[in-house]
Chain A
């Protein structure tokens, strides 16, 4: 339904996105995930024809956005990062205008506008000026605008940014309701949002795609992790060294706990289950094992790993 092939955008010497390729199948919800400034908006703006690419192609339902813009544009609704609302228009007047722009026929327009307003919970404020609405409502107006011509594809750029927690929940529910009937591509820098709404994720960092997978696979990757935690009552002074010497152990960190207890976090080589060996060592040394188990890695850590590994710089704080 959506096909992006080797998309590159350069602004003079700066490369905003570099060889971005991905596909979204019919009916799928794709999360487009990355820290701020990773190139999410740039990709989406190219995909929607708001911006021209330096090279590469973007297709919507088989129509190239730069060669057949009119056909391609009829097939999607787009909510940019900042909702493109005219503050001095009324909600219904605005949605009606967008319906006209998208060529919704005269006879169907009123029903289409009413339906979009209702879906986004805007019926109550349809006669109010958009400028007088709260940020959350304006965001919903932006969403109604993207939906009004009932497009097969929805492209939503950070649809929940700047909303309060209740509004975020509402918008996410709305997006999930839209799934199935529409193919959706959704950009966000908020990881749980992807977990809650999407089936597949494309992770972009510094203009490049660093991973694309289904949520299940990513979660599986999380569960198959090889980081273990060992909590003991009487750690010997050389415990850290002994653990370190075990085959397959890469790093050991010791976290002191109350009353002389200690917690060791052991990073094993990828795909190696060291629990048995750890247990044996701990019993031999009579450290008094209290706990032994895997450390749960969150999707967040996977994300952070993916977005930092490649370039050796840490993702800025607060991007997750």
Chain B
């Protein structure tokens, strides 16, 4: 079992041995920073207008407005960028013939898959840590609700974990990183829009990656959403493990 951590450690460190990891983190910080800035300035002008014109109704709370928009946008960013984090994981090992090393080492295919998942997930965690200063700024500026911040991050972790899990499967399907990236991006996009246009709590709504995420953003922790994300992750990790075993048989 300790081998899982060794694999995770190696995958995690690999993001920092090449420039790709740094570019990725820079992009995340830059784009979230841009969003934060535009949302915050929009909020400022909105509250000014509302103070001048009381007929516009109640001023939305800082947390709800800024953080809500912030987390919604974060999901879109995560959806777009995680394929770049995951596409390398197995495809590159196959292309460089290094998968043979893992297949002939005393580690099971399940350990390989979980190790790789955790390595990528930890890297994703670093990206999230780099966004902590936005809620930090809000805490210094005003007195926002801490609850939705925490649930928002919990949601972001689960959401990102789900994106990484199917990105990992996509990476095991091909030797070409780019193909893996496109496949996982396409799938992510589909899982995002699957809930569109269906009213109420239909099956499509339930399957949508983003519908569950919205609950966390609003400050709720729904058990069904946690179960949804966890089973999503477990399903795709299992599929990846099966895929590796299939490669062994061929």
Q: A: which residues have CB within 8 A of B?
A: 11, 45, 48-52, 69-71, 73-74, 78, 80, 82, 84-89, 97-98, 100-103, 145
Known: A52-B249, A87-B96, A103-B3. A98 touches B106 (CB 8 A): no
Whether the Cβ atoms of B6 and A84 lie closer than 8 Å is no
Whether the Cβ atoms of B106 and A51 lie closer than 8 Å is no
0/1 string, B1-21, CB within 8 A of A gives 1 = 011001100100010011000
Closest 6 CB pairs of A and B: A84-B101, A100-B6, A73-B106, A101-B105, A48-B104, A84-B98
A150 to B7 Cα, complex, angstroms: 21
Known: A80-B97, A84-B98, A97-B6. A103 touches B106 (CB 8 A): yes
Whether the Cβ atoms of A102 and B104 lie closer than 8 Å is no
0/1 string, B86-112, CB within 8 A of A gives 1 = 000000000011111111111110000
Whether the Cβ atoms of A102 and B96 lie closer than 8 Å is no
Whether the Cβ atoms of A70 and B17 lie closer than 8 Å is no
A79 to B248 Cα, complex, angstroms: 17
Q: Which residues of B contact A49 (CB under 8 A)?
A: 103-104, 248
A-B contact pairs, 10 of them (CB 8 A): A45-B100, A49-B104, A51-B249, A51-B250, A70-B106, A70-B108, A73-B106, A80-B97, A84-B96, A145-B101
| Closest A residue by C-beta to B99 | A84
Q: Which residues of B contact A71 (CB under 8 A)?
A: 106
Whether the Cβ atoms of A86 and B96 lie closer than 8 Å is yes
Whether the Cβ atoms of B98 and A86 lie closer than 8 Å is yes
Whether the Cβ atoms of A50 and B103 lie closer than 8 Å is yes
Q: Within the complex, which residue of B100, B106, B250 is in contact with A102, where a contact is CB–CB below 8 Å?
A: B106
Closest CB in chain A relative to B119 CB, distance in Å: 12
Q: Which residues of A contact B102 (CB under 8 A)?
A: 101
| Closest B residue by C-beta to A72 | B106
Whether the Cβ atoms of A98 and B101 lie closer than 8 Å is yes
Whether the Cβ atoms of A73 and B96 lie closer than 8 Å is no
Q: Within the complex, which residue of B7, B14, B97, B108 is in contact with A84, where a contact is CB–CB below 8 Å?
A: B97
Q: Which residues of A contact B250 (CB under 8 A)?
A: 11, 51
Whether the Cβ atoms of B100 and A50 lie closer than 8 Å is yes
A209 to B73 Cα, complex, angstroms: 63
Q: Which residues of A contact B14 (CB under 8 A)?
A: 86, 88-89
| Closest A residue by C-beta to B6 | A100
Whether the Cβ atoms of B104 and A73 lie closer than 8 Å is yes
Q: Which residues of B contact A69 (CB under 8 A)?
A: 106, 108
A sample of 14 more A-B contacts (CB under 8 A), given A11-B250, A70-B106, is: A45-B100, A51-B248, A52-B249, A69-B106, A70-B108, A71-B106, A84-B97, A84-B101, A85-B96, A88-B17, A101-B3, A101-B106, A101-B107, A103-B3
Closest CB in chain B relative to A231 CB, distance in Å: 53
Closest CB in chain A relative to B3 CB, distance in Å: 6
